[in-house]
């Protein structure tokens, strides 16, 4: 026994030696935490169990094989806020965190265990991509990972956290997962790097400008969350996990707060301006509605004309989708349609009710939008809302015009409860467009077209757009006092608690892509 224990200890000592101070400093000098430090930060103290720590890299014919344990990735499981989560963390210090065959096999094992046990997977990515000297074997490893990403999609939450390079085809594992986090300044993602861009297009671009966190959180929309450093990024991941169930068969965790369900918010009567053309910040409304004003915004700086966030109402997790009148008057364009659709799909996959706050003048007009396919992309939002079977509640704050009204979870496409504030305007189009079409001749012939237009606008608001008409026709459930909105939503959520909706049997739907 003594001899075998000595062998056991010697092996352990070798492993500890690998992770000595020089190793730690090498990564810290890059402004990054080590793979172990990151994974330990993710899990509740003392709960991380490492798997396959002793696996060395495979022998490769093209040299550059190192004698190192772990093959450049730390894998295992533990508890995050007391709940089981599987994770892997790539180790840039070992062959640039590149993905060799054994490295891939370790990740695949984690993915399989997570799927079998119905637990989320978090991937902490810091890698030079497929290990060049392993050739096809490393490459094939990505195929194995992608396959599991797809099979796990909609079953267990998958979160990718980019904390260094993610280049080449390797970006497609994160892209297949539910959420992407990036750490500012130290992470980047691209399919082809600056050198190839220079060679092929003769374009000079820096790594940051091509695929840094700032680009992906604003322009491309690839990254859902960006934090300043490794610690804050991992704290963000933990917070996100608190809104998600462990798998699609469970509900997200209910966390009751001291906020009261029947809270009356008088301030809500004054946020939406009387003048329909005046902007306001819909986040002010969200803050007053949700438990303790606390929400986690998703893709904050991309397509900000639509707001998406997780929050709690009376302890129950909800997904909030809101038009943002402060940005592009809250119109729907291609990017916001895609952003909204993706968020709704995630909510629906993971049993999160959707609350829609609507103030939308319509889809953004113009040749750019039409030529880039607003028809196809706008349909994504329509499809996602219609297909979602979780409880769906809408509050029309102000404008609800035309196709955009229908798309934003109207009764027609399956909204369970649709409420309207007294400021709501529900119509085929706004007064300007309607009067221009219906009264073109009269306006042209009028001696005072300005006055006539003013009168017609007033008449249109009274006779066509006011929410009491929709209320009396049953297209909305009630015109409500804005101050009572929180209580109305919470009561409606409880009424929908056991909602079940059946869809015709099929292999899968054909969402417009």
* In the complex, minimum distance from the CB of residue 17 to ligand HXC, in angstroms, rounded to a whole number: 18
Tokens read off for 14: 């070798």
Q: Is 98 or 369 the residue whose CB approaches ligand HXC more closely?
A: 98
Q: Respond yes or no: is residue 404 known to be catalytic.
A: yes
Least Cβ distance, residue 181 to ligand HXC (angstroms): 19
User: How far is 416 from 495, CA to CA, in rounded Å?
Assistant: 10
Tell me which DSSP letter residue 483 carries: G
Q: Rank residues 70 and 431 by Cβ distance to ligand HXC and give the closer one.
A: 70
Q: In a 10 Å sphere around its CB, with 0-12 CB exposed, 13-18 middle and 19+ buried, how is residue 425 labelled?
A: buried
Q: Which residues pair with 297 in a beta bridge?
A: 309
CA dist., res. 11 & res. 370, Å (int): 64
Annotated catalytic residue within 135, 154, 402, 403: 403
Q: Are strands 225-227 and 417-420 parallel, antiparallel or unpaired?
A: unpaired
- 86 by DSSP, 3-state: which? strand
Least distance in angstroms from the C-beta of 60 to ligand HXC: 9
Q: Which is nearer to ligand HXC, 95 or 121 (CB)?
A: 95
Binding region for ligand HXC (CB under 6 A): 95-96, 98, 128-132, 139, 142, 165, 167-170
Query: What's the closest the beta carbon of residue 102 comes to ligand HXC, in angstroms?
Result: 14
**Is 444 designated active site?**
no
Identify which of residues 53 and 68 has a Cβ nearer to ligand HXC in the complex: 68
Catalytic residue among 138, 168, 236, 362: 168
Whichever of 130 and 182 has its CB closer to ligand HXC, that residue is: 130
Q: What is the phi/psi pair of residue 257, to 5°?
A: -120, -175
Kindly name the residue from 31, 143, 169, 293 that is annotated as catalytic.
169
- Check if the beta carbon of residue 498 is closer than 8 Å to that of residue 391: no
* Distance of closest approach, residue 95 Cβ to ligand HXC, in angstroms: 5
Whole-number Cα distances in Å, 90 to 93, 154, 174, 250: 9, 24, 13, 30
Measured from the CB of residue 173, what is the shortest distance to ligand HXC in angstroms?
Answer: 8
Which C-beta is closer to ligand HXC: that of 30 or that of 262? 30
Residue 258: Cβ within 10 Å count: 6
Is the CB of residue 408 less than 8 Å from the CB of residue 394? yes
Residue 335 has φ and ψ, to the nearest 5°, of: -60, -45
Q: Is 109 left (phi over 0), alpha (psi -120 to 50) or beta?
A: alpha
CB 123, CB 160: distance < 8 Å: yes
> For residue 92, how far is the Cα from the chain centroid?
27
**Cα 406 to Cα 443: distance, rounded to the nearest angstrom:** 30
- Considering 35, 329, 404, 434, which one is annotated as catalytic? 404
- Give the residue numbers marked as catalytic: 168-169, 403-404
């Amino acid at each position: 026994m003594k001899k075998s224990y000595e062998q056991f200890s010697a092996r352990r000592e070798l492993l500890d030696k690998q992770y000595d101070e020089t190793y730690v400093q090498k990564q810290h000098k890059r402004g990054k935490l080590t793979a172990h430090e990151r994974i330990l930060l993710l899990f509740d103290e003392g709960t991380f169990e490492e798997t396959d720590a002793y696996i060395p890299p495979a022998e490769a014919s093209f040299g550059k094989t190192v004698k190192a344990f772990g093959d450049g990735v730390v894998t295992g499981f533990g508890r995050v806020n007391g709940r089981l989560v599987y994770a892997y963390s790539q180790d840039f210090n070992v062959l640039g965190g590149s993905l060799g065959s054994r490295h891939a096999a370790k990740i695949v094992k984690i993915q399989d265990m997570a799927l079998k046990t119905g637990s989320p997977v978090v991937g902490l990515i810091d890698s030079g991509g497929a290990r060049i000297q392993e050739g096809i074997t490393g490459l094939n490893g990505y195929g194995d990972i992608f396959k599991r990403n797809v099979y796990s999609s909609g079953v267990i939450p998958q979160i990718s956290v980019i904390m260094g390079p993610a280049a080449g085809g390797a970006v497609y594992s994160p892209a297949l997962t539910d959420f992407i986090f990036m750490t500012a300044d130290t992470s980047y993602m691209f399919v082809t790097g600056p050198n190839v861009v220079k060679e092929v297009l003769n374009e000079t671009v820096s790594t940051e400008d091509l695929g840094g966190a700032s680009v992906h959180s604003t322009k491309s929309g690839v990254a859902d969350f960006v934090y300043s450093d490794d610690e804050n990024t991992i704290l963000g991941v933990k917070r996100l996990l608190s809104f998600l169930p462990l798998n699609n068969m469970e509900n997200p965790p209910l966390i009751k707060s001291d906020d009261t369900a029947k809270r009356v918010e008088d301030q809500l009567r004054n946020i939406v301006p009387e003048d329909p053309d005046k902007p306001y910040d819909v986040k002010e409304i969200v803050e007053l509605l949700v438990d303790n004003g606390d929400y986690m915004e998703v893709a904050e700086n991309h397509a900000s004309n639509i707001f998406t966030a997780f929050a709690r109402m009376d302890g129950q997790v909800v997904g909030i989708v809101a038009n943002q009148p402060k940005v592009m008057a809250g119109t729907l364009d291609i990017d916001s349609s895609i952003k909204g659709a993706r968020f709704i799909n995630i909510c629906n996959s993971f049993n999160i009710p959707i609350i829609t706050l609507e103030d939308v003048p319509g889809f953004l007009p113009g040749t750019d939008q039409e030529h880039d396919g607003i028809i196809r992309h706008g349909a994504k939002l329509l499809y996602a809302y219609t297909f979602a079977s979780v409880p769906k509640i809408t509050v029309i704050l102000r404008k609800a015009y035309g196709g955009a009204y229908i798309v934003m979870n109207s009764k027609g496409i399956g909204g369970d409860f649709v409420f309207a504030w007294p400021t709501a305007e529900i119509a085929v189009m706004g007064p300007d467009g309607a009067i221009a079409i219906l009264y073109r001749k009269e306006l042209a012939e009028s001696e005072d077209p300005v006055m006539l237009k003013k009168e017609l606008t007033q008449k249109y608001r009274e006779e066509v757009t006011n929410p009491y008409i929709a209320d009396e026709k049953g297209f909305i459930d009630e015109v409500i006092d804005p101050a009572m909105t929180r209580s109305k939503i919470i009561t409606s959520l409880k009424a929908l608690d056991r909602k079940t909706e059946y869809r015709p049997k099929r292999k899968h739907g054909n969402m417009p892509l």
